[in-house]
Amino acid sequence: MQKIEHIGIAVKDLDKANELYAKLFNKKHYKTEEVKSEGVKTSFFKVGPNKIELLEATNPDSPIAKFIEKKGEGVHHIAFAVTDIVKEIERLEKEGFNVLNKIPKKGADNKLVAFLHPKSTNGVLIELCQEI
C-alpha cells in the first residue's frame, strides 16, 4: 500500500454536507460523481495532500443507505492507494483478510476498487484503490 488515498464519509444530504465541509475547509469540492452500480453520489474535497469523499445514497438499498440507517452519518471507510490491486487482493487473502469483492470494480474518481470486510480489519471498512 502506498498511502491513504481518501477518507469516505457517509452523509444523508450531499448538498448540505458540501456546504458544511466547504466552510470547514474554506474551499469548495472539486468533483461530484454518481456511481450507479453502488447506488451512491460522491463529492470530493482536497485538503492539503489528502482527499475527503462524501457519499450520499441514491437508493434505499445501497450500502451507504444501509450504513446510515444502522450507524448514522460519519466515517464510512478509509481508502488506500495500491499500484496493483489484483496482486494486493491476492496477498491480503493469503494473509487471512476477507475481501468483499475479489474482482476489482470501477469506483469513483477514476479508480478500480475492492473492499475488505470490517470484521477482518478491527471494525474498519478498508477500500483498495488503483488509478485506472
Task: Write out pLDDT tens, residues 10-30.
Answer: 999 999 999 999 999 999 999
Beta pairing partners, 6: 79
- Rounded-to-integer distance, Cα 21 and Cα 4, Å: 19
Ranges of the chain whose pLDDT falls below 50: none
End-to-end CA, the chain: 16
- Rounded-to-integer distance, Cα 9 and Cα 11, Å: 6
Beta pairing partners, 57: 40
pLDDT of residue 116: 98
18-127-22 Cα angle (round to 5): 15
- Is 9 within 8 Å of 47 (Cβ atoms)? no
Task: Write out pLDDT tens, residues 40-53.
Answer: 999 999 999 999 99
